[in-house]
Chains A and B, each alone.
Chain A
Amino acid sequence: MADDLELRFERTVQSEARIEPRDWMPDGYRKTLIRQIAQHAHSEIIGMQPEGNWISRAPSLRRKAILLAKVQDEAGHGLYLYSATETLGADREDLTTKLIEGRQKYSSIFNYPTLTFADVGVIGWLVDGAAICNQVPLCRTSYGPYARAMIRICKEESFHQRQGYELLMTMMRGTQQQRDMVQDSVNRWWWPALMMFGPPDAESTNTEQSMAWRIKRDTNDELRQKFVNMSVPQAEALGVTFPDPELKWNEERGEYDFGQPDWDEFWQVVKGGGVCNEQRIAHRRKAHEDGAWVREAAAAHAAKHARKEGAA
């Protein structure tokens, strides 16, 4: 019986069909998905902070409206993803608790500080660009609700990347000081952006099983290479360079060769040692605790109306 279920699950996945919430699925598949989608959702929510940092200081009303819309999108993306975890039996309150107690992770990129307004542009261009590289294949992930959430998210990310690149083009047409600011920002974000694809394939413990279940569609190194190939001509058009002496076109491979990020730094940030880890979680915890009265008031209001309707 159990074998039949497992066989049907395997066949569905192998035939490129989607697994839907009420289908039987192996416990490991469910657990892996909850962990991955929750981590993804947490990243969207924590990701509001580095850019939110610049909303009040955006240089024009136009830039402020754009940045607000972008940060608002990140909140929406978090909600799409949390609701996908709920189709797997996860509890949203429980996920929030795990995030603010440091028991579940989010993308390490958000533990780096946003020092100048150029960072808003570079995050849109490179960080959201890397996220798009990661997310486009996830539109074909084997779990239906996750795939559908990714389709909506990818559509919206396109605005994020283009506003970033346009912002940087504007700064590059400005003063030398502004151009220097863009280059400095690119220098700081390039390596963390490459780290967003995760550790090298040889060290990635979850990749093999996730690929077999078709949760993951490409390996970390494949996606990283693709991102480098796409970014180099964009950097040339913008007039900036990447801080990698090993970066050069390889005629034979038809791809760019590039250096490895500092993986010791990567693991240090993952384990909590980044510049902003404590600040990000403390802020999220405070927002959650400060919002308690809103949740309580909304529940009291709904209960009062339910009583009134019951009496009527």
Chain B
Amino acid sequence: MSTSWPLWEVFVRGKRGLNHVHVGSLHAPDAEMALRNARDVYTRRNEGVSIWVVPATEITASSPDEKDPFFAPAGDKVYRHPTFYAIPEDVPHL
């Protein structure tokens, strides 16, 4: 059995009003240490005001190999974009 520390994914909120954004990962023995390490690794220059750490094994991700078929349903629906609709230039505020 491996004795290495588990991997944690790190999310930092740059300032109030912004989403937490994924910045990278690190190894730590528990959540508390992961937070402290994340602070030291990723926010040494005031990059954030809040940090989330999540065990990497708890993240379920879509597979990169499946990218095309997985996201294909949105590919052919150009009518979901406002630019699909031609509105004359002289109609204001639309």
* B67 interfacial by beta-carbon distance below 8 Å: no
Compute how far the CA of A147 lies from the CA of B92 in the bound complex, rounded to whole angstroms. Answer: 26
Among B13, B19, B91, B94, the most chain A Cβ lie within 10 Å of the Cβ of B94
A 42-67 contacts with B by CB, 8 A: 62, 65-66
Q: Please report B residues at the A interface, Cβ cutoff 8 Å.
A: 13, 15-17, 19, 50, 77, 79-82, 84-88, 90-94
In the complex, are the beta carbons of A166 and B85 less than 8 A apart? yes
In the complex, are the beta carbons of B87 and A18 less than 8 A apart? no
In the complex, are the beta carbons of A165 and B77 less than 8 A apart? no
B79 is contacted by which of A18, A69, A161 (Cβ under 8 Å)?
Answer: A69
A-B contact list, 27 entries, CB within 8 Å: A17-B16, A18-B16, A20-B13, A20-B16, A65-B79, A69-B77, A73-B80, A144-B16, A144-B17, A147-B17, A148-B17, A158-B82, A159-B80, A159-B81, A159-B82, A161-B82, A162-B82, A162-B84, A165-B91, A166-B85, A166-B86, A166-B87, A234-B91, A234-B93, A237-B88, A237-B90, A237-B91
Chain A residues within an 8 Å CB radius of B85:
159, 162-163, 165-166
- The 10 closest A-B CB pairs, nearest first, are A18-B17, A162-B85, A158-B82, A166-B85, A18-B16, A230-B93, A237-B91, A17-B16, A159-B82, A162-B82
**Residue count of chain A within 8 Å CB distance of chain B:** 27
